[in-house]
Amino acid sequence: MPSYAPLTPDALVSMVAERCLVRAGRTRVAVDGAEAASPADLARRIAARLRSTGRPAEVVELKDFLLPASQRLEFGREDPDSYRERWFDFAALAREVLDPLASPRAALWLPRLRDPETDRSARAQRQPAPDDLVLLVAGPMLLGRWLDFDLSVALQMDEGVLRERTSAELAFTVEGVLEHEKENHEEPDILVRYNHPDRPAVAVAS
């Protein structure tokens, strides 16, 4: 088990931002966390911090890269295995967002794929990627998918906390998240103990 050093939420934002700033060129960052951890909120704060230094930064949310309802709901609306394997279009995320940014040439990336309300294309326009863009992808179960990130942050919650903080509407997702965590062996660059987002702690070498 790793040991953890406590820090403030603002210090966590600064830590991740600094890890991005030392990297030249486009940087693709995973902020991996269950819905209860609100990974997109942290990603947006990091992006804002980066922009305050003059570094361009954008956020993509995994929930905007859903598979069609006919696929993700084939076995019902509350099937945890479907949530884990059939809800999110990781292939499209790689194809439309991560892979283009790996190119040293001019690149375009897609901010949204599907509108979760209408289950139709979001009709988003591809955006040009500055040469020094930091693009943060926020959502659950990003690690362990063979996605090509340059930096990864994992927001770790204990099972009891995860169950308590997940809304009743999304309670079925907890089993899928826990099963994925159990089978995922991809180590994040920054592991954050996130039972209390106002009092995070970062894993340190013992």
The per-residue pLDDT for range 92-146, each reduced to its tens digit, is 999 999 999 998 899 999 999 988 778 788 888 999 999 999 999 999 999 999 9
The pLDDT value given to residue 69: 86
The CA-atom distances, in angstroms, between 61 and each of 19, 39, 128, 158, 206 are 21, 9, 18, 23, 33
* Burial class (CB within 10 angstroms; exposed 0-12, middle 13-18, buried 19+) of 38: middle
The pLDDT value given to residue 116: 78
The pLDDT value given to residue 133: 98
CA dihedral 7, 10, 12, 15 (to 10 degrees): -110
Cβ(183)–Cβ(144) below 8 Å: yes
Helices (H) and strands (E) in the chain, counts: 8, 11
pTM score over 0.85? yes
Residue 8 CA, chain-centre distance (Å), reads 20
- The residue segments making up the domain with residue 147 are 3-204
Number of CB atoms found within 10 A of residue 125's CB: 9
Q: How far apart are CA 108 and CA 123, in angstroms?
A: 15
User: What pLDDT tens digit does each residue of the chain (206 aa) get?
Assistant: 779 999 999 999 999 999 999 999 999 999 999 999 999 999 999 999 999 999 999 999 999 999 998 888 877 788 888 999 999 999 999 999 999 999 889 999 999 998 877 878 888 899 999 999 999 999 999 999 999 999 999 999 999 999 999 999 999 999 999 999 999 989 999 999 999 999 999 998 65
Largest CA distance in the chain: 49
The first and second tokens of residue 22, run together, are 């030392």
Number of CB atoms found within 10 A of residue 131's CB: 12
Q: Where are the beta strands (DSSP E) in the chain?
A: 3-6, 27-32, 57-61, 108-109, 114-115, 120-121, 127-128, 134-139, 151-156, 190-193, 201-204
Cβ(137)–Cβ(177) below 8 Å: no
- CATH number of the domain enclosing 199: 3.40.50.300
User: Which residues are paired to 191 by β-bridges?
Assistant: 154
The pLDDT value given to residue 205: 66
The pLDDT value given to residue 92: 96
Domain tally, the chain? 1
